Amino acid sequence: MSEAPIRIALVGMGKIARDQHLPAIAGNPQLVLAATMSPHSPGVDGVAAFKSMEALLAAGDTFDAVALCSPPQVRYGLAAAALAAGKHVFLEKPPGATLSEVAVLKEKAEAAGVTLFASWHSRYAAGVEPARAWLADKRIDRAHIIWREDVRVWHPGQAWIWEAGGLGVFDPGINALSIVTRILPRRIMLEAATLSFPANREAPIAADLKLRDTDGAPVTFDLDWRQTGPQSWDIAVETNAGTLTLSQGGAVLEVDGHIHRDEDREYAGLYQQFEALIRAGVSDADVTPLELVSDVFLTGRRHTVETFED
């Protein structure tokens, strides 16, 4: 006998929710969109819409889980309320504004006996798991990551992203970190960082990072939100057996002259994992990429650059 679909309430109805979450939920027969919550959006036709988490939770036993797409600065309170009500919680990346609040959410989920899922959508790009498998037994000599995109294209008018806790260029940069921490066989640690802050913003627009893995192999990141024209989401890992490259954000893998390319199923993969975690009664709340971002803000040198207006 098949299990009943898991009823999802989608919280936060911005661009990422509409572009990625709604299609992924609709495409999974094990899930159903039961409600939306946003103080500003009218929601989705034919689906119950609420203006606050309080109103959503007061609706009773109409959903099983929430997917939180709200800005990270307000995500903790929403997640904590849902967990207290016995709901499973899917956290968009980054899983929180701070490491300490995610640690508390893990404790709350365990105490409530529900699933907490810290999602990293770039880890579900088509080339990531094949890259991880190929690198598993290789000596890593060095890795270089170029992650440059145009914030005006991908985050138009999203003021929260420039505020304290909004991460700035690390909103996309943490995607690169999530891939690298998944595919490299050893942990990486920060050595130095330079952060470029626009004079009128509280979050960086660019960053240069120098890290090493636990065997001493250098890993460097070039992150920039001012890229125009073609966008760059590229990872190159030099090994004793040749160079592996991931391009297009992890969608295309090239190694030994062979190219692996597949369709974009990042968010479909995320929701398959969320459903599997709920069925198994376990959580997955890895914060390794956020730990590295925290290290960058803790130790990086700050450099002021020209003002930025989007």
Q: Is 113 exposed, middle or buried (0-12, 13-18, 19+ CB in 10 A)?
A: exposed
Structure tokens at 2: 């098949």
283-287 contacts: CB < 8 A, separation 24 or more?
283/106, 283/109, 283/110, 283/115, 283/116, 283/117, 284/116, 284/117, 284/118, 285/91, 285/95, 285/102, 285/105, 285/106, 285/109, 285/116, 285/117, 285/118, 286/118, 286/120, 287/95, 287/99, 287/102, 287/118
Structure tokens at 65: 């889980």
Q: What are the two backbone dihedrals, phi and then psi, of residue 210, each rounded to the nearest 5 degrees?
A: -125, 120
Active site residue 106: no
Question: Which of 87, 93, 108, 138 is an active site residue?
Answer: 93
Catalytic residues: 93
